[in-house]
Amino acid sequence: MNVHIVHDSQKGNGKQIAERLAAEFTSRGDQVVVGHRTELTPERVAANPPDLLVVGTAVRKFVTSPPTKKWISRLAAGLKRQNGRIPRTAVFFTHMMPDAMLEGRVQRLQRHLSEAGGIGEVYAEWLSGRVKAIPGPLVDGALEQAAAFAAKLHAWAQPKT
C-alpha cells in the first residue's frame, strides 16, 4: 500500500506523530512518504495519489490550522485536474485541549476532506496528539497511541477485494 502522511507541525509534535505513524506503516510493508505541508505539496500528492492519505493538523489558539484547510482545497483541485482519486484518508490533531473539545473540529475537517472531491472514505476515528504545554512535549503515551492507531488504520485501508 502507498501511504502519504502530511503534517502541519510548527513545534515538532506533529512531525513526531507523523514519523511514528510512518514507522508503523513501513513495518507492515507499506511504501510511505512523510512531509510537512510545505514539502509534501498538494500538487505532488495529486500527481501521484496514494492509497491512503493521513492529514495531521494543529489546533492553535482554539482554531484548526487554516493552512491545512487550504492544503486540502488545493489537493482537491489538483486531483480534479489530474482526474485522480485517493481512496482513503484519516486525520490526526496536535493540540493542548481535552479531546472532547475537539470533536466538532475533527468532524468539520473530516467533512471538508469527504466533500473536497477526489477523496473517498474518511476514517471515522481520529488520533489525538495532545501536548502537555506549548511548545510540547506530547503527553505520555501519545506516540504509543499513534502506533496503535496506525495498526487499526492499516487494517481498515487495505484494498477491498
3-state secondary structure 84-140: CCEEEEEEEEEECCCHHHHHHHHHHHHHHHHHCCCEEEEEEEEEEEEECCCCCCECC
> Residue 161: its pLDDT value, please?
66
Distance (Å, whole) CA 147 – CA 161: 26
Cβ atoms within 10 Å, residue 12? 15
| Domain range list for the chain | 2-157
- To the question of pTM greater than 0.85 for the whole model, the response is yes
Encode pLDDT of 104-158 as tens digits: 999 999 999 999 999 999 999 999 999 999 899 999 999 999 999 999 999 999 9
CATH of domain 2-157: 3.40.50.360
> Residue 72: its pLDDT value, please?
97
> Residue 30: its pLDDT value, please?
97
Encode pLDDT of 36-75 as tens digits: 999 999 999 999 999 999 999 999 989 999 999 999 999 9
> Residue 134: its pLDDT value, please?
87
For 83-106, what is the mean pLDDT?
A: 96
